[in-house]
Amino acid sequence: MARSSRSTVRDIARHAGVSVATVSRVTSDDPHVTPGTRTKVLASIEALGYRPSALGRGLANGRFSMLGIVLPGLGGPYFAELIQGAESVAGEAGMALSVIGTHMRRDVGQAVRQLSERTDGLVVVGGTVDGNLLHQLAAHGPLVVVADSVPDLVCIRTDGHGATRELTAHLLEVHGYRTLRFVGLGRGSPDAAARYAGFREALTERGLAEVAPPLVQGMDSKAGAAAARELVSSGAVPQALVCANDELAIGLLATLPGLGVAVPGDVAIVGFDDNALASLASPTLTTIHQPIQAIGAEAARVVLDAARRREEVSAPPPPEDRVIPTRLVIRESCGCLY
Amino acid sequence: MARSSRSTVRDIARHAGVSVATVSRVTSDDPHVTPGTRTKVLASIEALGYRPSALGRGLANGRFSMLGIVLPGLGGPYFAELIQGAESVAGEAGMALSVIGTHMRRDVGQAVRQLSERTDGLVVVGGTVDGNLLHQLAAHGPLVVVADSVPDLVCIRTDGHGATRELTAHLLEVHGYRTLRFVGLGRGSPDAAARYAGFREALTERGLAEVAPPLVQGMDSKAGAAAARELVSSGAVPQALVCANDELAIGLLATLPGLGVAVPGDVAIVGFDDNALASLASPTLTTIHQPIQAIGAEAARVVLDAARRREEVSAPPPPEDRVIPTRLVIRESCGCLY
DNA sequence: GTGAAAGCGCTAACAA
DNA sequence: TTGTTAGCGCTTTCAC
């Protein structure tokens, strides 16, 4: 790992009585090596406990073999799934994954820049890095944006606007709810913003309006619990609550009954993501299913492809806004199937 | 990022009319540079959009500025917190964090080895890497084990055995339960194994025994739900269920009522971790609080210290088994406060 | 204060 | 098939 006393290609070459090139060939699985020579070299490698330095290797061929991913935070099932997807793809390609959380960090720009200097490409979750820097980074190397749509950049996302519009329409059309409220619009979370916009559009299309501005508390279950308390103490419980994600919905689901508000009896609740708890909660959660892990994997794939292409000095990938389909999952919390 | 057309120290040196050494001094904040020269160099850097290569820098001073962390999986709140703790410390030290999940991976050894070759030190969660390799890696560079106790290695963990023993004792002494069962012993999860051992010890000490072997299903909420179904269909619901972690407990908590089993009325349930949902679930979950994020942070700190020490060629850190205190959190699911 | 030059560990032409 | 050699981009003595 660190420099100290590590043996190098030269040590192996000397010990095996061959040249450094041959050692390199062996460690790189170059077929142009006599079996006998290979064996000899491998023996020396074993004997001296040699492990090639990624640094030397990287410097020699201008590659880090490292993929970077920038997330707002590392907490919550959403980001865990995204990482998981990206990591599996990176792993298959023999690359490592380097992560960084921008929340709870003052110098986001510097941190992201630093990351970009140690990676072959970046997956950036929307809302973590400002537009200027984003374009700057994209000019600098392969980059794909996830969960946001940014002009001139490769983006992979779902249609949060349309999906939430559809979900809200379900509440309005099928259940006939008329007083609805949104929960969880986050600062700098473009996908939450898109969902909120879809929510409003569904209402507007029908000549309705939200009964009150969004309950803004963050995006996790704790925030959902806080929203529940705020809602109840305000005394005005609407007929339905549309949450920016499942975590918020779960927090509400867990807290409201204790406050004397039945779900979906007194208030319907819907979420977004279809996370692991959505089908376990009681009542089970009506939500939008989103293949998060697949999105993370796809993002990683695109970045790695771009990195490879870049080595061949061919054209850069055209900016593209890829929209992954989602699926409305009707369960109990909206009032259906209960 | 990749090699292509990036400007180098030499370009800057030429452009600014100075030597590469001076450029290096400027980028390394070496004070021995005339303000005038510095300004000139900075201007060139700005003009050419120069960013020093981490690879070149790393090779020159034998450092990766990268910390590695090896986890079983990337899913679930536990690992997210661990990563979060480690990442914050790494970030403060100007280092990036590289993660790798060993579940769903065939070539764990190779992957971990590869990671160790691109990092200055490793944080390894217990149960992910076999003992041989672990010692091999530790001989090779700074390494700390988390959530396990391995002879001759630096370990940071909590006393899962003692804590679960205490938790189980609460169930036995305060509530007088006599039929208990453990949920969630995982394959290759040393901390789950320790908790199970503590559970059994509490029983044995009182001349009791578990009513049946552990319900083994994994460690997440889905597994908890499956355990609930298995338990109910078996027809033998014990008085209390001790879960290997909160996620399992949450899964049970969510599922059992739907199967006609009241918690804690028909069966008490306790968990381990005190995760975000523990205080939100209904009933709220009695559990063992564990400062996971702090553990991740401390592990990162120890590794970074060791990496620094190693550079000074001083003595390696002595093997140490650091036990972080936990706290029993009594809530409703055990039957208290309900 | 600044420059010249020697590497850090590896790979990749090019020779042999 | 194997060896020689020139870098990859940066830091760092050691002179000046």
- Shortest distance, CA B70 to any CA of chain A (angstroms): 11
Tokens matching residue A58: 């990287």
- pLDDT of B75 reads 81
Structure-model confidence comparison of residues A315 and A77, the more confident one: A77
Give the mean pLDDT of chain B.
92
- Inter-chain touch B64–A54, beta carbons under 8 Å: yes
- Compute the average pLDDT of residues B107-133: 92
pLDDT at A317 over 70: no
What's the half-sphere exposure (Cβ side, CA atoms, 13 Å) at A299?
39
Q: Report the alpha-carbon distance of residue B171 to residue B174 in Å, rounded.
A: 6
Tokens matching residue B153: 């290695």
- Compute the average pLDDT of residues B154-178: 97
Residues A267-306: pLDDT tens digits? 999 999 999 999 999 899 999 999 999 999 999 999 999 9
Phi and psi at residue B162, to the nearest 5°? -60, -40
Q: Report the alpha-carbon distance of residue B180 to residue B201 in Å, rounded.
A: 12
- Any chain A CB within 8 A of the CB of B262? no
Instruction: Find, in chain B, the residue whose alpha carbon is nearest to that of A304.
Output: B2
Residues 51-80 of A with CB under 8 A from B: 51-56, 58-59, 62-66, 68, 73-77, 79-80
Residue numbers 182-201 of A with CB closer than 7 A to any atom of strand C:
none
Phi and psi at residue A215, to the nearest 5°? -80, 110
Angle between helix axes A246-255 and A221-234 (nearest 10 degrees) is 50
Give the mean pLDDT of chain A.
92
- Shortest distance, CA B201 to any CA of chain A (angstroms): 32
pLDDT at B186 over 80: no
- pLDDT of B312 reads 62
pLDDT at B275 over 50: yes
In which band, very low, low, confident or very high, does the pLDDT at A4 lie, cut at 50, 70 and 90? very low
**Domains located in chain A, CATH noted:** 9-52 (1.10.260.40), 64-158+293-324 (3.40.50.2300), 160-289 (3.40.50.2300)
- Compute the average pLDDT of residues B250-259: 94
Residue B227 identity? A
Closest listed residue to residue A75, CA positions, set A99, A108, A96, A101: A101
Peptide bond into B72 cis (omega under 30): no
pLDDT at B105 over 90: no
Contacts of A101 in chain B (CB under 8 A): 84, 87-88
Q: Report the alpha-carbon distance of residue B59 to residue B63 in Å, rounded.
A: 7
Q: Nucleotides on strand C with an atom closer than 7 A to protein CB?
A: 1-13
In which band, very low, low, confident or very high, does the pLDDT at B300 lie, cut at 50, 70 and 90? very high
Q: Report the alpha-carbon distance of residue A185 to residue A127 in Å, rounded.
A: 13
- Any chain A CB within 8 A of the CB of B85? no
> Which residues share a beta bridge with A154?
A144
Residue A242 identity? V
pLDDT at A311 over 70: no
Which residue is closest, via its CA, to the C1' of C5?
B21
- A213: three-class secondary structure by DSSP: coil
- pLDDT of A138 reads 92
Distance of B36 CA from C3 C1′ (whole Å): 17
- pLDDT of B4 reads 46
- Compute the average pLDDT of residues B108-131: 92
Contact yes or no for A74/B87 (Cβ under 8 A)? yes
- pLDDT of B3 reads 38
Q: Report the alpha-carbon distance of residue B121 to residue B115 in Å, rounded.
A: 9
Structure-model confidence comparison of residues B225 and B76, the more confident one: B225
Output the CA angle B212-B213-B214, nearest 5 degrees. 120
- Strand runs labelled E in chain A: 66-71, 96-101, 121-125, 143-146, 154-158, 180-183, 240-243, 268-270, 287-289, 321-324, 327-329
- Shortest distance, CA A222 to any CA of chain B (angstroms): 7
pLDDT at A240 over 90: yes
- Any chain A CB within 8 A of the CB of B112? no
pLDDT at A326 over 50: yes
Highest mean pLDDT among B18-27, B186-195, B314-323: B18-27
